[in-house]
Amino acid sequence: MSLVLGGLLLGVIQHPILSPLQPGHRPDWLTPDVILILFLPALVFEGSVKLDVRELLRNSVPLLLLANAGIG
């Protein structure tokens, strides 16, 4: 939720420092590796905190079938 609100806030703010974040302009430092290193751990941590183990166990068979469907 905080990532969504932060993104909306950055989209609304019109500040010269944020001008590279406008559509069509990407800063040189913003590479896929940086995005994975900065944002992926936060998303995985949030997902693990909110994980319902009982629901995961209840849905384990379909999840395993879908995971194996992508192999080979």
Which tens digit of pLDDT belongs to each residue from 15-45?
666 666 566 666 777 788 887 888 888 888 8
* 28 neighbors 21 (Cβ within 8 angstroms): no
This prediction has a pTM of: 0.41
Tally the domains of the chain. Answer: 1
Note down the domain range covering 21.
2-69
63 vs 9, 15, 57, CA distance in Å?
36, 45, 10
Q: Is the Cβ–Cβ distance between 55 and 49 less than 8 Å?
A: no
State mean pLDDT over 4-19.
Answer: 71
**Mean pLDDT, the chain, whole residue set:** 79
